[in-house]
Structure 1
Amino acid sequence: MADARASSFQKATQMAIEQSKGEGASTYAVSSYNGSLLRNQIIETHHSDELTFALKPVLDIIEVIFSRTTTDLHGNVQVFSSQASLANEKVLYSGHQDILVELPIITAAVSREVFCNWFKGVAAHNTTMDILHIIKHYSWDAKLVLAVGSFAMSFGGFRLVSELHSTNPIAKAVALLKNFPQTLELAGILKSMLEAIFLVVKAILDMTKSVIELYELSHNEYFTAESPEIIAATADIPTAVYWTIQSTVDCASQIMSLTAMDPEYLSKSWELSSLAHKLEMIRSQLVKQINLCYKFIEKKKDDEIFNSMARVLETSHIDNSISLNLLFREKDGSQPMLYDCLHQNLVPIEDLKGKVVGLYITDLNIVSEDYLILQQIYPEKLDDRNRIENQYEIVWIPVMDNWTNDKYWQFENLRDQMEWLSVRHPSQVALQVIRYIREICNFVKKPLLVVMDTDGKIVHKDATQMMCIWGNQAYPFSLAKEMSLWQQRNWTISLLAEGIDQYLPTWIEERKHICLYGGEDMEWIRSFTRTAKAVALRCGIELEMLYAGKNRSRERVVKKMINVTQRERLSKALEWKLISYFWLRMEKMCVSEPPPLAIPEEEGVDDEFFMPDDLYFVAPAQGKMRHSIFTGIVNMLSFGSSSKGWAVISGDTEKMLFEADGELLLKALFEHEKWKERAENDGFVRALEIYYHQLCNDLPHCISLILSDTELKGISCAACNKPMEKMVKYSCCTDRASFGYD
């Protein structure tokens, strides 16, 4: 009878197992479901998010179970970090029992559903949907923790019995009731299957963590429910929850099948491995969305800091201490230090308190015309530190995208060749400061001199041209000061040649006629200087002449002209460096912003004001005899681009000034007899100018204007006042260094 009962029980059990492994119970049958249809079915099971609980402690407990149980029957395989396990085990002694009161009710219901459906042979998909209905009032992350927690309890119980049955009588008794001895005898056969289950368990836990992390991000202060980032990130959560819960169902089914089992009723290990892979694929998409959310949060925080910094730098304070500390604060919070390039020692930031600070921003390709001129101007302040216009300091801030050891070496080498201050090290400059330099100051590659006043406010985004034009007279280097300087100037010999020669101030004071001239045609130079002196002598005027070379000239050629001019005593001549500075200053004037203003109004003559149009300058109205500063500068650059020759002549009053093409001017001097009577009435310069323009109208001419990296609209010819046609010139000499600083 006993044998009959045993046989009957074994037959019933066998039938239950066979039914559970029937066609309808295929774990992967749902893989053929249309994706959108499946997602709609999953979402229909979700009624509300009204129920939730403290997920983190429960997740920590689950991880303790998984990390302690994912070893094979001989304790050789482990897929979880032991350090993570020890850290999470603190939750076991943290007194979270109050938040776990209702948890067993739900997890028991889930476990019962899994067991009953397995025994009835219900498909894993249907079991998963039933579980989702049980927990329909919980949020998606809470659903996942409940389902995974339910599986963790059954998986943990299975592993406790399998590990303790040989040493613990209670575990032994349970093992006998569960028919574990027969199961354990097949340990070698089951090894690969168990290892596959462990991989799925790890994938389940990883997915649960990612879903919880994503839900926490969705409630971050930088997001709303309508944020595109959150909508995109949470779109795949229902599907991820579904497949994770189904994975717990599949693993639980495998464990329950171990009771009175035959290996043929177990899934193949590769099927479980493919399930783990599927979870990882789904999770990888969630991780991408999580990373995008973190990047968004990081950008929002970065924007907040950046906007706060911009407000500080664009607001006046008691002094400049706040702004200086913001710019040069060390990343570790230590005392910010700057480097004195001249004396090669560190200086405290307090040394800049109460001073105007120019932030010289460049990359490591620093040798440019602006840099070389600043190097010439800066030492003037060192000679007399007490003068008000010398109460400023320049700090070099190198900006590069990718710093390497070679670039750091290059930085130190360049730093030691300077005379002003520098940041101690490029890493000292915060990323927010670099962003401000790029976005607000518009630094790309061209060097900038950003000026901060004594109150810590940025007052000029680029005073490079201003300093090159006016030198230390431009102190305190603000836009208001730049406008003031232009308003105080007329088109005079003083503006044209300010600071380039020691004799000029004396000549102007003595009301002498002054002629600046240049070119690279030695025969023209000889003829022009001798003729001009002869005509001046006949007219009874004192004429001083000064050779100023040619725009964009070669050092070797111009030095040859200087030597011949001085050797033959044709006139005085500027040094080569001053000639290069003279023309560079002229170019800076041409493209400076704000633009050069017209000369003040005089009786019977209308003013000409040249205002910028989309950052470009509008040319003067045609037909006007009166030249503005801008027109005069353009004319000088036009004539100075010719190798034949050019000249500008000033009368005995500074307001009498006109610029001319060399060949036409020489012809006008040769024909002095035709305009000498007018000279007696109107003055030498005025009469010569009128006759010169008559020649311009009568004789053919060709005048060009070369400017680097700039656009000027509506430029008129310096000789005939007709609009000039814009052309493109290609040259291998693209920087000032090749014109004279080599």
Structure 2
Amino acid sequence: MSTILAHLLGMDHKGKPHQVDQSMWTNLLASFDDEKFMKEMVNTHAPEEGDVDVQSLFHLVDNILHGTTAIVDSIVNPTGTKGSGKPSFKPLKEGFNPPLDAINEVGCQLTCKALDTKNVRQTLVSLFHELSSYSWVNKALITLSSLAVFYGDFWRLARVEPLDKLAESMAILKGLPAITKPTDPQKIQVFGVLNEMIKTTLNMTQCLVDFEHDSKDVPELSTMIDVASSVYQIIISILACSIQFTSLISTVDDNKGKDLPTFARKVNMIHHSIKRHYEDFLQKKEEIKEYQRLQRLFNAPTDNVELIKALFYIKDDPQPLFLGSKKTKDKVESLRRKNVLLLISDLKLTSHDLSILAKIYNERKFHEERYEIVWVPIIEQDGEEVIKQFQNLQLQMPWYSVHSPKLTNRVAIRIIKEKWHFRQDTMVTVLDPLGRVSNQNALSMIRVWGWDAFPSPVL
């Protein structure tokens, strides 16, 4: 029997069904956390110029696996909603040439050689040497491409039209009728677990693809994900999926994927870790962009409302202000064309300072000359006690305050500390109607002179 036909039938070169012994799974699972072996694989990395277009290759793989996993979902859960809709396919880049030689060679490693040798470490060594000249993300993508071709080619035949006799014959030769008919529910469910694991592996890979793309303009964040070790773990996951799938489509399978749930849990843990790091990266990147935006705004304001809005998370609440005298919420726009005293403090705001500010606030001229006060709390602790202290202080303020300390923009706090030199002591920064700082800290003057500390307002 030829090697190709044996591969189609899920058999080894001697014509016997592929079997996965326990040592293979044990060694493969142990490889995830073997730092010494991982370092050896990482050291094979020798990338060359002119690498493969990552985005184009990912779109190909994503299309194949999204379409294929939807087919498997419909077989595993024929009455369920999962996979009931048609998957959306990404447009492909015209003229893109995937690395076919590498994909084919890696595919042979994943399907034939891994099961013939039964030595998964040897297979991993071969894979990493084959992929040594590619970037880290492309190593994962090429390996996933090989699985996608194998997996997609098999399951595509499960959707054979009755008149397509060629495809029907190929499906029979691959054993699809026996698999897709619900004569062995246990085996069908194992296919479901494997299908979910393949989806998870695709999602892990997408995190790395997106991270590589999104981190290009923030090189200072390029180490937030350990891409090399993540790719190492993804390749092990792909190898496990391939070995299990090849075993399942064999004519004999006594184990029925009993080791697969253990692998699936491990892969899910790795996915959660990579996803968490990627989400942390996105948050940090957004903070950098926000910091740059606020720096420009603080350096060259044109409107006080625009600057004050930047102090709060307006997207979370378009009415972030609370007016103590009326006990109502309000928009920042209410402060337009006014001179605004930003009362900046932590929770150690003293009753003495509160009473002085209250006296000024109750002056008729204070409002006639278009002044307002806004409390900007700098509170970086959490907990119920903190909220109670905040609310107790807020009750003593007839002026505006942010109605929740969580709405104070963390990036704005950083700039207030850097640009206006806030440390812990209460300060009052005065903004004119254009958002320009007319006095960076007027509190000492207010303590001495009260309302008389204020010059004629800028109108």
TM-score under structure 2 length normalisation? 0.74
Change (3 A) 1:410 1:67: farther
SS at match of 2:78: coil
Quote the residue 1:303 is aligned against: 291
1:450 maps onto 2:429 in alignment: yes
Give 1:170's aligned residue.
166
Which residue is equivalent to 1:644?
A: none
Which of 348, 366, 371 pairs up with 1:393? 371
- Taking the aligned partners of 2:12 and 2:408, their CA distance within structure 1 comes to 74
Specify the code of the residue in structure 2 equivalent to 1:442: F
2:143 to 147, 150, 159: 147
Q: Find the aligned partners of 2:362 and 2:179 in 1 and give their Cα distance.
A: 91
Cα distance, 1:79–1:147 mapped onto 2, change above 3 Å: farther
Does the 8 Å contact 1:27/1:250 carry over to 2? no
Q: How many Å apart are 1:425 and its aligned residue?
A: 5.9
Q: Paired residue for 2:211?
A: 214
Shift in CA distance, 403/166, structure 1 to aligned 2, threshold 3 Å: same
- Alpha carbons of 1:208 and 1:13: their partners in 2 closer, same or farther (altered >3 Å)? closer
State how far apart, in whole Å, the 1-side matches of 2:218 and 2:35 are: 30
Deviation at 1:246, TM superposition (A): 1.5
Correspondence for 1:251 among 244, 255, 271: 244
C-alpha distance in structure 2 between counterparts of 1:409 and 1:25, whole Å:
62
Q: How high is the sequence identity, in percent, across the aligned residues?
A: 16
Paired residues for 1:541-560 under 5 Å? none
**Alpha-carbon distance between aligned partners in 1 of 2:83 and 2:159, rounded to the nearest angstrom:** 20
Q: CA RMSD of the aligned region, Å?
A: 4.6
Matched, 1:290 2:278: yes
Three-state SS of the structure 2 residue aligned to 1:471 is helix
Q: Which amino acid aligns with 2:67?
A: I
SS at 2:343 equivalent? strand
| Residue identity opposite 2:203 in structure 1 | D
- 8 A Cα contact 2:376 2:408, kept in partner: no
Taking the TM superposition and a 5 Å limit, the aligned residue runs for 1:431-442 are 432-437=411-416, 440=420, 442=422
In the other structure, the counterpart of 1:196 is 193
Decide whether the 8 Å contact of 2:375 with 2:401 is kept in 1: yes
Change in Cα spacing, 1:167 to 1:41, as seen in structure 2 (3 Å) is farther
Unaligned runs of 5+ in 1: 1-9, 314-320, 386-390, 479-742
User: Is the CA contact 2:375–2:400 (under 8 Å) kept in the aligned structure 1?
Assistant: yes
Q: Is the 8 A contact 1:42 1:238 kept in 2?
A: no
User: In the superposition, relative to structure 1, how do residues 207 and 232 fare at CA in structure 2: closer, same or farther (>3 Å)?
Assistant: closer
Cα deviation per residue 1:532-558 (whole Å; 9 max; x = unaligned)?
xxxxxxxxxxxxxxxxxxxxxxxxxxx
Structure 2 CA distance for aligned equivalents of residues 133 and 437 of structure 1: 52
Question: Which letter maps to 2:246?
Answer: S
Q: Specify the alignment match of 2:233 in structure 1.
A: 240
Q: For the residues of structure 2 that align with 1:337 and 1:268, how far apart are their CA atoms?
A: 61
**Aligned-partner residue type, residue 465 of structure 1:** S
Q: What's the CA shift for 1:114?
A: 3.8
The Cα of 1:66 is off from its aligned counterpart by 3.3
What TM-score, normalized to structure 1? 0.49
Measured after TM superposition, the shift of residue 230 of structure 1 is 0.6
Q: How many residue pairs are counted as aligned between the two chains?
A: 431
Q: Which amino acid aligns with 1:247?
A: A
Contact 2:341 2:431 in 1 (8 A): yes
**Residues 303, 435 of structure 2: 8 Å contact kept:** yes
Shift of 1:223: 1.4
Match of 2:303 in 1: 322
Cα distance in 2, alignment partners of residues 425 and 455 from structure 1: 24
Deviation per residue, 1:586-618 (Å, 9 max, x gap): xxxxxxxxxxxxxxxxxxxxxxxxxxxxxxxxx
Q: Which position in structure 2 is the counterpart of 1:474? A: 453
3-state DSSP of counterpart to 1:270: coil
5+ unaligned residues in a row in structure 2: which ranges?
1-8
TM-superposed CA distance for 1:289, in Å, is 2.8
Q: Which of 223, 234, 241 is 1:230 aligned to?
A: 223
> Whole-Å Cα distance in 1 between the matches of residues 357 and 179 of structure 2?
87
1:258-277 superposed matches below 5 A: 258=250, 261-264=251-254, 267-277=255-265
Task: Tell me: CA distance 1:414–1:127, structure 2 relative to 1, closer, same or farther (3 Å).
Answer: same
Determine the C-alpha separation between the residues in 1 that align with 2:346 and 2:28: 60
C-alpha contact 1:30 1:125 (8 A) present in aligned 2: yes
Q: How does 1:534-683 map to 2 (within 5 A)?
A: none
Cα displacement (A) at 1:149: 1.9
Alignment CA distance shift 1:469-1:75 (3 Å): closer
What are the Cα deviations for residues 123-180 of structure 1, in whole angstroms up to 9, with x where unaligned?
3443343333333322121222222222122222222334538774333312343355
Corresponding letter in the other structure for 1:246: L
Aligned residue type for 2:354: Y
Alpha-carbon contact 2:343-2:427 (below 8 Å) kept: yes
How does 1:382-531 map onto structure 2 within 5 Å?
Answer: 382=365, 393-399=371-377, 401=379, 418=398, 422=400, 432-437=411-416, 440=420, 442=422, 444=424, 447-452=426-431, 456-476=435-455
Alpha carbons of 1:214 and 1:160: their partners in 2 closer, same or farther (altered >3 Å)?
same
- The 1:184/1:31 distance shift into structure 2, 3 A limit, reads closer
- Residues 337, 423 of structure 1: 8 Å contact kept: yes
Question: Larger C-alpha radius of gyration, 1 or 2?
Answer: 1
Counterpart pick for 1:69 among 63, 71, 93: 71
- C-alpha change, 1:192 and 1:323, in structure 2 (3 Å) is closer
Q: Measured at CA, do residues 55 and 182 of structure 1 come closer, stay the same or move farther in structure 2, by a change above 3 Å?
A: closer
Does structure 2 retain, via aligned residues, the 8 Å contact 1:328–1:423?
A: no
Deviation digits for residues 691-714 of structure 1 (CA, Å, limit 9, x no counterpart): xxxxxxxxxxxxxxxxxxxxxxxx
**SS of structure 2 residue aligned to 1:285:** helix
Distance 1:132 1:171, change over 3 A: same
1:129 maps to which residue? 125
